[in-house]
Amino acid sequence: MVKLAEWRGKEIFRKYGVPLPPGRVARSPAEAEQWVRDGSVPLPCVIKAQVLAGGRGKGGAVRFANTPEEVRAAAEAILALEFKGERVREVLLEGKLAIGRELYVAITLDRSARVPLLLTSSQGGVEIETVEDSAIVRQPIHPFPGLAGYEKRRASQSLGLTGAASKALSLLLDALWKAFNAEDAELVEINPLAVVGEGLVALDAKVIIEDDAAFRHPEYSEIRDDRTPLEEIAREKEIAFVQLDGNIGVIANGAGLTMATLDVLMEFGGHPGVFLDLGGTDDPAKVSEAFLLMAQARPRAVFLNIFGGVTRCDTVATGLVQAMGQIPPAERFPLVARIRGNNEVEGIEILRKAGITALSSLKESAQSVVAAAQGPPPAGGRA
Amino acid sequence: MVKLAEWRGKEIFRKYGVPLPPGRVARSPAEAEQWVRDGSVPLPCVIKAQVLAGGRGKGGAVRFANTPEEVRAAAEAILALEFKGERVREVLLEGKLAIGRELYVAITLDRSARVPLLLTSSQGGVEIETVEDSAIVRQPIHPFPGLAGYEKRRASQSLGLTGAASKALSLLLDALWKAFNAEDAELVEINPLAVVGEGLVALDAKVIIEDDAAFRHPEYSEIRDDRTPLEEIAREKEIAFVQLDGNIGVIANGAGLTMATLDVLMEFGGHPGVFLDLGGTDDPAKVSEAFLLMAQARPRAVFLNIFGGVTRCDTVATGLVQAMGQIPPAERFPLVARIRGNNEVEGIEILRKAGITALSSLKESAQSVVAAAQGPPPAGGRA
Amino acid sequence: MSVLVDVDTRVVVQGITGHQGSGHTLQMKLFGTKVVAGVTPGRAGTQVEGVPVFDSVQEAVDRTGANASCIFVPAPFAKDALLEAVDAGIRLVVIVTEHIPFHDMLIMYHYAKERGTRIVGPNCPGVASPGKAKVGIIPNVVFRPGRVGVISRSGTLTYEIVNGIRENGLGQSTCIGLGGDPVVGTSFVDALPWFENDPDTDLLVLVGEIGGTAEEDAAEYIRQHFTKPVVAYIAGRAAPAGKRMGHAGAIISRGKGTAQSKQAALEAAGARVGRFPFEIPDLVSEVLRERGRR
Amino acid sequence: MSVLVDVDTRVVVQGITGHQGSGHTLQMKLFGTKVVAGVTPGRAGTQVEGVPVFDSVQEAVDRTGANASCIFVPAPFAKDALLEAVDAGIRLVVIVTEHIPFHDMLIMYHYAKERGTRIVGPNCPGVASPGKAKVGIIPNVVFRPGRVGVISRSGTLTYEIVNGIRENGLGQSTCIGLGGDPVVGTSFVDALPWFENDPDTDLLVLVGEIGGTAEEDAAEYIRQHFTKPVVAYIAGRAAPAGKRMGHAGAIISRGKGTAQSKQAALEAAGARVGRFPFEIPDLVSEVLRERGRR
């Protein structure tokens, strides 16, 4: 899941022909000022922080300016922000337009019907989650013939567009449909889509690219995301690793089992801090690597939950013991292991020899790790 | 049907990534010499007349050259040719390659199965019509998912390609498939496709673009074709008009009826010289226009065969009479009309008043027009 | 019984407000067809020849129970019109429009087929069953109810032949004009089984032309499965190779698609093949007489 | 009888020469499955675990009568492998491969569906019916023949639950792992009717997880059509919104796909929903006892 910042989403929109306001990206106040001085961005203009979090308008991350000096000052202020935990690295400058109505258009996936879904609403400019279902028109688009003319006409109708504006929508939807498919997007969203005179202009851009199609899109591999630094490392190592708010690290094999382990911990009063799914790996080196990554998250305690089905418990245990030896004593943490399945006895023995207690009951082991996490804190900080 | 000359076909191939020999088009001997002097085309090279007719090799329209002087001389000779009735306007210069085997690859339409058809044969370099059916591998390609990897592997197998050459074929077939669809082609053909080292190179290019998709491809509207000048005019006026070898012009409404009229004429010893299908037109002005075009073909006699079903016989007759008045006396020709169907009586009456005899029997009218065509020739030449 | 259309056929005309659409709506109604709706985007609420116009096929279906469509919209929009009809659940679509790119038709054909919608055409006169319904543009005057089935690739030539059958005192069960394009929704081979199974058809007239191998395919089907007598005519004996004769599909290319090959195949399959169009009505009468059906 | 696979299932393994392909070929054979062929282009003529390898699925089908496929090829080639299997007439395709772009899966899903081929997966453990056949990678040791059906979106969690059922002295009729991707060939709603109609299944275990509305759709189906008892577990109560929890499909986005919503829907449909995975085998025993089936 690669969430693109507004300006990157708009670069994609431009490539496929979605109409945009005149705009430029700036990485410094001086650059921002230059874009208006050289006429690249007309005045008055809007200056927007390029962050992934929503709610920029209310958070002071969007400002307006009428003169080059105001542009510089606004850019300076925004570039100094840390917005909902994200440092602002770029601002997008765009000429202000005489906006009529604000609409909503998006293409996403309908998982149940297994088709792309075109969403339109005449209530644009607000978070779509706050719009009533009845005010959103949903049209499934069959992937084979693709977006049909009659579907675009229905979209026009739903948005109350006629004449030239309806034709503009038709072209815009074609562009959006192409972008959705050619860029392997999960979501392409324009909110608001502004009616400007007889035309349409995308005032914002939300584009999410699918991770699994990365082999077709090397151009997205370098784009920063809302992943944490550790999640970023995990991604490069192809480990399913998610940082959460708690302090107990969970390693399990299989996404379902890892999720279930978090659930059990929560039920017994624990606070999961890391979700780490080993997947189907058998390889002690890989297990070891995953475990060292976990250590970097500085958990108060770690819970290893393995069901050896396709994988073998003993190889997982071997990797684990190898990794434990590499963790500096100051960074060590209590470890509770629960191992079931293939070569369970051998796995438990390997852990026992390394001084790690392994239980076979999920309930007991969960209770035990929750107790451990409530003990004295380790040398470092929280997970 | 827009048949593209080799160099235009290769421009399309280049656009989609089909590998080609280094080459340039020249419209004069001096230009040809320049392309080798400035290194655009390496020596030795081949110089090929850019005509639509086949059999260039045997017809002296393909020559080889080792020096810039030889290139100039060859280009001069070829540009002076009239090849099977076509004036040579361009030559294509291409560097000679160390060619291994010569293969055949094409994508065309399977009308019965309503799918594109991938044709491959290891017997390239000869006219495909002369290759035995058993030496051609035909694979239907479903238009929806498009060309699949396993189909490309089968193509590789059929051509005896392995390793790097097989990978090259896979990329080449993807390019060809894209070209076939994106350019609305009826045929994309590479014959021969040469094995050069571990790679593949398209030595020739045959591309036919579909007429009906012209609204998507204005870029082809200016391309000369193997149409006659009158056929070219007819095309612009959207009249179905075909020049044939005989001397009797046939105007009818509907392609099937027009063809059947030619057939009947032939059976009675006539030689059709023009096929003109009025289609479903009702409009006297359009009929008149078509008739004047017919006159330009200088037929010895003209046979008008109308069945008024959707159209009305009287409006057709009106258009005809209008047109006859505009033909200079020296260019007039005997006209036999056979009219049946809607408002048949009115139509016959209109013609009678203008001095044209209309019969209702197809047989009698055909015999009558054949006799008329065998009479004294009109002022001008043949149809 | 009849083929493709019957008294329950309820037609929506796509492109009803155009010249062709409105004129043929009237003709279909005069034929006795239940034309229940028209569609032209932006013209909802109006009427054409007493037929209510809607903005979309779905509305037309919802409001009028239309189950067949006749498409007159211009070629660049025909693909969309077909997709709309299929998605609205229409089961029979006759496409009169000509000059639809065959690349579009490939998509249209497979999309419709996979959803169980039958296309007739494009570039075709449509389907008519005298006394029941007509979807398309075949002139009403050539028909009278009877027991001769007709399948044809051409328009006017077929009208002439059908008219000749009428003038000979016979009538037609159902007449289908397949259209002259290289890619058609319904081919001879698709339509033959319907006539084989139609108790109202005694004899079949097959009107073919040069180009492709549809007639050869038909001959093979007739040889193996078709038990009723067949009278055939093939247009284009005088056509040279490599030239398109009016119809996009009427071209002899790469040695395939000659009239000779088609005639020979049909004769070998037991069909009576006429040399002239005007022979066909007489051949029909003759064959029926031989079989004692007349 | 059983669901999807039975003693007539003849498996071709696509990507048989890879590490996963060869290892699981052996496991499927040990389960008792008729693994009749493998496919790896360029490796025809070799054998893997005694199974002959072919260059193409068509050859494998022609030579061995294979009617089901198990795909292990890497994600970038999975679409092609599926098209090849469908075009060769394979009726059941289990796709083990993970990380297939969902845009590819959209094409694969519709192409297969329109041709009557059933996909299970991708990113799934497959289908197993103890004593009959297994197509996929579910560990053999967790099974024993019995009358509990299982449908699940996860892998290891399911193995654990299935194993627990076995340890409680019960067995399974058929177990299907649907896979954790956003677009899957078979959903709960697709699979529920098979278990409803399977005389060998007395009770169904449904293992869901956060993301999408597949469990809510299933609950609706169960409420309306499913007459057998259902025991369910939903993983991901502790998962925050907006994060993908291992599976590409396991994400709460835009307020949709929470465990709470799924649990509530299933409970309202009459299912017994366990809070912990280890409760499920006991709930199964309990429900069967109540129903007098044990």
A70 sits in which H/E element = helix A68-79
Contacts of D282 (CB under 8 A, 6+ apart): D168
Contacts of B170 in chain D (CB under 8 A): none
| Contact assignment for A307 to D160 by CB distance below 8 Å | yes
What's at C235, amino acid-wise? A
Chain A residue at shortest CA distance from D217: A112
What are the CA-CA distances from residue C175 to residues A26, B346, C181, D110 (Å)?
70, 28, 18, 35
Residue D245 structure tokens? 């929890």
Residue range D194-245, pLDDT digits in tens: 999 999 999 999 999 999 999 999 999 999 999 999 999 999 999 998 888 8
| Three-state SS at C230 | strand
Tokens standing for residue C200: 């109202």
Domains of chain B (ranges, CATH numbers): 22-95 (3.30.1490.20), 102-219 (3.30.470.20), 229-373 (3.40.50.261)
Interface test with C, best of A118, A150, A177 (most C CBs within 10 A): A150
Beta bridge partners of C235: C209
Instruction: Give C-chain residues touching A154 at CB under 8 angstroms.
Output: 56
Domains, chain D, in order of start with CATH, read 10-120 (3.40.50.720), 138-290 (3.40.50.261)
CB within 8 Å: B154 and D77:
no
Q: Which two tokens stand for residue B180?
A: 């076939």
Q: A213 to each of A219, A282, B183, D102, how far by Cα in Å?
A: 11, 25, 27, 8
Q: For C249, name the nearest residue in chain B, comparing CA atoms only.
A: B111
User: Taking chain A, what is the end-to-end CA distance rounded to the nearest angstrom?
Assistant: 23
Q: How far is the C-alpha of D239 from the C-alpha of A259, rounded, in Å? A: 7
| Residue with tokens 């189950």, as numbered in its chain | C67
Q: Is the pLDDT of residue A37 over 70?
A: yes
Catalytic residue list contains D225: no
* CA distance to partner chain A, nearest, from residue D36 (Å): 22
Q: Which residues of C touch B253 (CB under 8 A)?
A: 156
DSSP letter assigned to residue C253: B
Is the CB of A153 less than 8 angstroms away from the CB of C41? Answer: yes
Q: What is the pLDDT of residue A380?
A: 44
What does the angle CA D85 – CA D88 – CA D93 come to, to the nearest 5 degrees? 30
* Nearest-by-CA chain C residue for B255: C246
Half-sphere exposure (Cβ direction) of D81: Cα atoms closer than 13 Å:
30
Task: State the Cα–Cα distance between residues B335 and B62, nearest whole angstrom.
Answer: 47
pLDDT reading at D294 higher than 90: no
Mutant choice from B142, B144, B147, B150 vs D, greatest count of D C-beta within 10 A: B150
Within 13 Å of residue D63, how many CA atoms lie on the same side as its CB?
A: 17
Supply the residues of C annotated as catalytic. Answer: 247
Which band of pLDDT confidence, cut at 50, 70 and 90, is reported for residue A381?
very low
Query: Of C69, C22, C11, C17, nearest to C40 (Cα)?
Result: C17
Question: What is the C-alpha end-to-end distance of chain C, expressed in Å?
Answer: 21
CB contact under 8 A, D152 and A109: no
- Helices D214-225 and D188-196, packing angle to 10 deg: 30
Length of chain A in residues, anyone? 383
Which residues of chain D make contact with B156, given a CB cutoff of 8 A? none
Interface mutation target, options C26, C27, C97, C103, chain B, most CBs of B under 10 Å = C103
D216 neighbors D190 (Cβ within 8 angstroms): no
C99, C100, C113, C156, best to mutate vs chain B, most B CBs in 10 Å:
C156
Task: For residues B299 and B309, give the distance between their C-alpha atoms in angstroms, rounded to a whole number.
Answer: 27
B-chain CB neighbours of C103 within 8 Å are 143, 181, 184, 210, 213
Classified as helix, coil or strand, A48 is strand
**Could you report the per-residue pLDDT of D94-111, keeping only the tens digit for each?**
999 999 999 999 999 999
Yes or no: say if B216 and B224 are a contact pair by the CB < 8 Å rule: no
pLDDT at A151: 97
Chain D positions touching A254 (Cβ under 8 A) are 154-157, 246
Q: Is C171 helix (H, G, I), strand (E, B) or coil?
A: coil
Question: What is the predicted pLDDT for the residue at C293?
Answer: 61
Q: Under DSSP, is residue B143 helix (H, G, I), strand (E, B) or coil?
A: coil
Q: Spot the catalytic one: D19, D24, D99, D247.
A: D247
The torsion angles phi and psi of C243, rounded to 5 degrees, stand at -110, 135
Tell me: pLDDT of C294 over 70.
no
- pLDDT tier at C171, thresholds 50, 70, 90: very high
Q: Which chain A residue lies closest to C83 (C-alpha atoms)?
A: A148
Assess contact for D170 and D197: CB atoms under 8 A.
no
Smallest CA–CA distance from A239 into chain D, residue: D246
Q: What percent of chain A has pLDDT over 70?
A: 97
Other CB atoms within 10 A of residue B57 CB:
11
Cβ pair A46, A63 in contact under 8 A? yes
pLDDT for A382 equals 42
Q: Nearest chain B residue to C27 by CA: give it.
A: B310
Q: Which residue of A has its CA nearest to C56?
A: A150
Q: Give the contacts of C260 (CB within 8 A, at least 6 positions apart).
A: C237
Is the separation of the CB atoms in B334 and B302 below 8 Å? yes
Check CB contact under 8 Å for C157 and B254: yes
Q: Which residues of A touch C (CB under 8 A)?
A: 142, 144-145, 148-150, 153-154, 157, 162
> Using CA of residue B347, residue B349, residue B353, residue B357, what is the dihedral sign?
positive
Of C109, C140, C164, C155, the residue nearest C27 (C-alpha): C140
- Whole-number pLDDT of residue A105: 98
**In terms of Cα–Cα distance, which of A318, A117, A104, A298 is closest to A191?**
A104
In this complex, the residue of A145, A157, A162 whose CB is nearest that of residue C111 is A145
User: Sign of dihedral through CA atoms D253, D256, D259, D262?
Assistant: negative
Q: Is the peptide bond before C277 cis (omega within 30 degrees of 0)?
A: no
Q: Which two tokens stand for residue D177?
A: 């792992």
Token pair of D20 as six digits: 């996963």
Residue pair B372/B336 in contact (Cβ under 8 Å)? The answer is: yes
d(CA B303, CA C236): 17
Nearest Cα to C40, choosing from C64, C63, C86, C71? C71
Tokens of residue B328, six digits: 């200079």
CA distance B177 to B190: 12
Hey, are the CB atoms on D75 and A309 less than 8 Å from each other?
A: no
Per the residue annotation, which of B189, B231, B289, B344 is the catalytic one?
A: B189
Size of interface B-C (CB pairs under 8 A): 176
Tell me whether strands B82-83 and B62-65 are parallel, antiparallel or unpaired: unpaired
Q: What is the pLDDT along chain B (383 residues), one digit of tens a residue?
A: 788 999 999 999 999 999 999 999 999 999 999 999 999 999 999 999 999 888 888 888 999 999 999 999 999 999 999 888 888 999 999 999 999 999 999 999 999 999 999 999 999 998 888 999 999 999 999 999 999 999 999 999 999 999 999 999 999 999 999 999 999 999 999 999 999 999 999 999 999 999 899 899 988 877 766 678 888 888 888 889 999 999 999 999 999 999 999 999 999 999 999 999 988 776 888 888 988 999 999 999 999 999 887 788 888 889 888 888 888 888 888 999 998 888 888 999 999 998 888 888 888 899 999 999 987 655 444 44
Tokens of C166: 């009428």
> Using CA atoms, how far apart are residues C281 and C270, in angstroms rounded to an integer?
18
For residue A23 the two structure tokens come to: 């705009």
CB neighbours of B219 closer than 8 A, spacing ≥ 6? none
A94, A183, A186, A189: which one is catalytic? A189
Residues in chain C: 294
Crossing angle of helices C279-290 and C156-167, rounded to 10°: 50
**Angle between helix B229-236 and B284-296 (nearest 10):** 170
Of A112, A253, A342, the CB nearest to D214: A112
pLDDT digits (tens, 9 = 90+) for A190-213: 999 999 999 999 999 999 999 899
Question: pLDDT by residue (tens digit) across C60-102?
Answer: 999 999 999 999 999 999 999 999 999 999 999 999 999 999 9
Contacts of B112 in chain C (CB under 8 A): 187, 212-214, 217
Copy the structure tokens of residue D171.
């067995």
Tokens of A190: 């324009």
Backbone angles phi, psi at A22, to 5 degrees: -65, 130
Which is nearest to D115 in space by CA: D88, D133, D141, D94?
D88
Q: Which value, to the nearest 10 degrees, does the dihedral of the CA atoms of residues D121, D123, D129, D135 take?
A: 90
Give me the half-sphere count of Cα atoms (radius 13 Å) on the Cβ side of residue B22.
13
* B120, B155 contact by CB (below 8 A): yes
Residue D135 backbone phi and psi in degrees, to 5: -120, 100
Least confident of A356-365, C207-216, D220-229: A356-365
B210 given a catalytic annotation:
no
Compare CB distances from C217 to B112, B244, B267 and report the shortest one's residue: B112
Q: Tell me: pLDDT of A301 over 90.
A: yes
Tell me the CA distances in angstroms from B328 to B295, B320, C14, C260, D110, one per residue in order. 10, 15, 45, 41, 64
